Chains A and B, each alone.
Chain A
Amino acid sequence: MSRRAQGLRPWVWQRISALYLGVFLIYFVSSFALIERFDFSLWSQWMTGPVNSIIIFIGFLMLFVHAWVGIKDVIMDYIHPVVIRSVVLLLAGLGLLVCLIWLSRTLLLALMK
């Protein structure tokens, strides 16, 4: 990608992930909205379904991308000193990465049961 279009890639990713997460949110809410008795077996079966678990795992990746592009823009807008900015960016990125690994681990452990 040319240097002039450097800002375009995160912009496109933000939209792709937003679309995925938005459609997923509708699917998630509509799956549980009309349920009478919400319990563990229903919840874990939904989360570990063969198709659902793949959709959810991609959702985790999309959430990570979306959150990173978003928080990066916010940090760059409000924190200007280079050193503090870099440290905060690093901490935010690491925090999100830990969340992504934690979410994936949770889903994998549930799948292996």
Chain B
Amino acid sequence: MESWVVATGLILLYVIVTIVLGVLANRAMSLDLEDFLLYGRKAGFVVLYLTVVASYHSAFAFLGSGGFFYRHGIGFWEAGTWTVLTGAITYTLGVRIWALGKRFRYITPADMLADFYESEVVRVVVALVSVFFTILYIQVQAQGLGYIISVASGDRISFEVGTFFLVLVAGGYLVAGGLRAVYWTDVVQGVWMYVAVWAGALVLSFRLFGGPLELWARVRAERPDLLSLPGPEGYFTPGIWIGMTVALSFGIILQPHIMIRYYSAVSGRTIKWLGATTPIFLMTLYIPAALVGMGGAIVLPDLAVPDQVFPELLVRYAPAWLTGLILAGATAAAMSTLDSILHANMTVLTRDVYQRYIAPDREPGHYVWVGRGIVLGLLVIAYVLSVRTFGFLVTLVTLSGAGALQLLPGTLGVCYPTRRPFTKSGVLAGIGVGLTVLYLTLVTFPHALGIHGAIWSIAANFATCIIISLFTKASSEETIGRIHGAVEDYVYGSGEEGLEEALRS
């Protein structure tokens, strides 16, 4: 049997497994909106762990990281900074988001911000910013899926057809089983991607170089420029380093697919353990990615698309069955993030726009069906974007994170009580100025003075938010007292016991 048939067949086998899980999840699901959107707020540690890491790591980590190591060298190992910082943010901020979500039955990030700032404009702006910037993330996954299937099949299945098929599958099981399907498939996908990237990197290291240490020795001898900062093309300057750390930690955490995972946890303790342990998975995935990227730079120095280095190496130098299994892992990495973001955007648009402004007071089942329709619409957008525009996967994800980062002042204002809270005018003005500065420092004056656009934009956002908040009216004392009181009580008072008691009363 030809090797491309084996590799593509194993990817299809994996796809069938996810479809079966989606169908099973559908049977376990009730037509209850909280179940469809938030897993009934019952996600335990193991499921939540695997769904968070599977959602966080995507085609970006599996394919894009190899491409960045390939082109820019060891500087991309800074990825560890944002993965570890993500854990700390989950530990401190995530647990507060969880507590407020449980206490006040929030479902979307916009629910929380609109409640605190007493503003429907805040709700709509947060919803639109969330959806707009995560569409870029959807594009990354769709693009990654296309790369995988076209390389695995030796271009017998085109990038466009591969993208279409796999995006359709991810949307299909999401539409069938809601967040339950996403979580169940994420469990499989999380394990599969981790094993696959390590196995692939080690097999290639031994086959091509005799082992990882020999690989490093070859890199030192042949491409020493890859082993120092700021890298062969001077990419990793201090300003870019800090900017990527911030955009890919805070910026990803603030995207709706991660915030919704906080809401769905069964307890705050689960969130804290999640924060302490997810960096182990997230960070260590980049260890083999470095071997892939730098090994690829030695063996395949003239790749037209660096993001394809991992699948190209596998197809050329690994056994067909192993290539299929590993590329199925890559497919898992992309699909697990794709389905999560589709689900989150569906939730935001259904809850924050459709249910509130277009058709309130319908049966829960009605909204479930509308959500399914929204998923199909998003899939069309993702497909069109992925086949019409191309960019480095890492660059696209960083832009996505930098956009979502603009929600940081507003979110901190809700979750961290202060004597002088931010106001809705301050938050809205901050988002507006932040997005404008982001555009200017990415497009008009790219990374001005060597500082990443994410840093310029969030600095401008914070400054604007603070200044405007000094001169505008804050939310009512009742609202601030209710929400900040709940935070104070949960974090420094009666904890989860008090939270349960407050819910019962």
A binds B: no
**Contacts from A to B (Cβ < 8 Å):** none
**Contacts from B to A (Cβ < 8 Å):** none
